[in-house]
Structures are given as C-alpha cells and as structure tokens.
C-alpha cells in the first residue's frame, strides 16, 4: 500500500509483487494451446491421470508456487526482512496451491485470492477493533494525517479487501476458468490501481489541508 515512493520504484515493486500472478497468467495461456502435452507431463510429474481441461490451471498453479518461493528467496538474499503480507501470501499459495495439485481440483487455487484478501481484511479489522492502525506504522513517517484520516484509510482498505475477495468468488464460480484467470491479473490489478489512485488523491488533499492548518497556527 505505498503512496510516497518514486514512480520508478513503485513500478519495480509492483512488477515484483505481481511476479507469481503474471507467470500464472502466462503459463495458463500457454497451457490452453498445449493442454494434451501438458496433461501428459503433469501425469508423470504429479502422478495420477491429469485432465487436459485442468492441465493449464494445474501447470499455472505449479509455476505460481515456484515463483512465490523464488520471490521470497530474493527478498531474503537481498538481506531484507520479508513483509508480513509476503509471508501470508507465501503460506496461502503453498497451502491452496498444493491442495490444487494433489487433488487435481482448481477450486482451491480459485479461492486463494479471496482467502488472502479476507485475511488482510481480518488483520486490519482486528487492529481497528483493538485501537491500532498498521497504516500509521507503514506510512506515518512519510505523511502527516490527522488520526481520524488514518482511521478512515484503514476502514477503506478493510472494505476494499473484503469486497474484492467476494468479487473474486463470484467470477471464479460463475464464469469460465479463462475469464477468472484474466480477472485475477487484469481485473484485480485494475481495481487496486483505481482504488490506490483515488485514495492517493484523498490523502494528498488531507495532507495539504493539515499542512496549511499547521502553518496558520504557526
């Protein structure tokens, strides 16, 4: 949820964060045109018969798991402490991705984004109930906002995570798998960008008003 980093750093971080999702999308698209060969390879790799219709999403899930582990390893190799969101994301992809591969059932990987977003919403919700705000720890040193604004921002992120998780379920189980895969990358990314840009404008306006009030008092 960064707002105050440079555009180039934001772009690099966004691509790094999306690394597993992008590879999931690319692998799925590749698998659609090579489903029979992919099913045969998965049968030897995973054991048991692999349905050619399920092969693209199974292969994409396997690649996403590997990409997530590599992503986590890169953070450690650079001597940085992994963010809690990265820890949570890794654990969830390992659990739900493994269930998808072991049971040859795409249901688990389809609900994975919902579980991830609802976990984030629950963490922020618990913090709000207990009088804490994780956003102040993340952004408090970069921008000055009144306490009421921090609370509103936290509630906004809770609602965003909750509603996006629910929308993922609707697309996953009411639409074709291909539609869900497209939504998983472009739909959720688009919603996140729109939300963060709108929130960024709101923060800029509040921060400017707070600065003007401080100058007036001075």
The number of domains in the chain is 1
- Three-state DSSP class for 23? helix
Q: Go through the chain and tell me how many residues it has.
A: 218
State pLDDT tens for residues 35-81: 888 888 888 877 766 788 889 999 999 999 999 999 999 999 999 88
How far, in Å, are 24, 27, 127, 177, 199 from residue 33 at the CA level? 15, 10, 46, 15, 40
Please tell me the distance from the alpha carbon of residue 18 to that of residue 183, in angstroms, as a whole number. Answer: 14
Nearest to 162 by CA among 111, 100, 116: 116
- Determine the average pLDDT of the residues in 17-33: 94
pLDDT exceeds 90 at position 170: yes
pLDDT exceeds 70 at position 192: yes
Confidence (pTM) = 0.86
Is 1 among the domain residues?
Answer: no
Is 166 among the domain residues?
Answer: yes
Is 14 among the domain residues?
Answer: yes
Is 2 among the domain residues?
Answer: no
State pLDDT tens for residues 110-151: 999 999 999 999 999 999 899 888 888 776 666 777 888 888
- Determine the Cα angle at 30 with ends 93 and 32, to 5°: 95
Furthest C-alpha separation in the chain: 74
Please tell me the distance from the alpha carbon of residue 212 to that of residue 90, in angstroms, as a whole number. Answer: 43
Range of the domain at 72: 7-217
Say what the pLDDT of residue 38 is: 87
């Amino acid at each position: 949820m960064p707002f105050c980093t440079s555009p180039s750093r934001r772009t690099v971080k966004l691509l790094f964060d999306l690394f597993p999702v992008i590879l999931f999308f690319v692998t799925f698209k590749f698998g659609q045109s090579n489903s029979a060969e992919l099913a045969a390879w998965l049968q030897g790799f995973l054991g048991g018969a692999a349905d050619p219709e399920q092969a693209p999403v199974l292969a994409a899930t396997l690649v996403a798991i590997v990409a997530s582990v590599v992503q986590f390893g890169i953070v450690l190799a650079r001597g940085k402490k992994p963010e809690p969101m990265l820890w949570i994301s890794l654990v969830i992809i390992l659990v739900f991705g493994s269930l998808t591969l072991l049971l040859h059932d795409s249901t688990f990987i389809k609900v994975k984004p919902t579980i991830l977003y609802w976990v984030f919403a629950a963490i922020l919700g618990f913090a709000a109930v207990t009088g804490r705000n994780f956003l102040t720890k993340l952004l408090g040193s970069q921008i000055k906002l009144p306490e009421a604004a921090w609370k509103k921002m936290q509630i906004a992120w809770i609602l965003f995570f909750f509603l996006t998780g629910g929308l993922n379920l609707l697309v996953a189980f009411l639409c074709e798998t291909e539609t869900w895969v497209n939504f998983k990358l472009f739909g959720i990314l688009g919603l996140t960008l729109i939300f963060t840009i709108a929130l960024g404008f709101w923060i800029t306006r509040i921060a400017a008003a707070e600065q003007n009030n401080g100058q007036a008092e001075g």
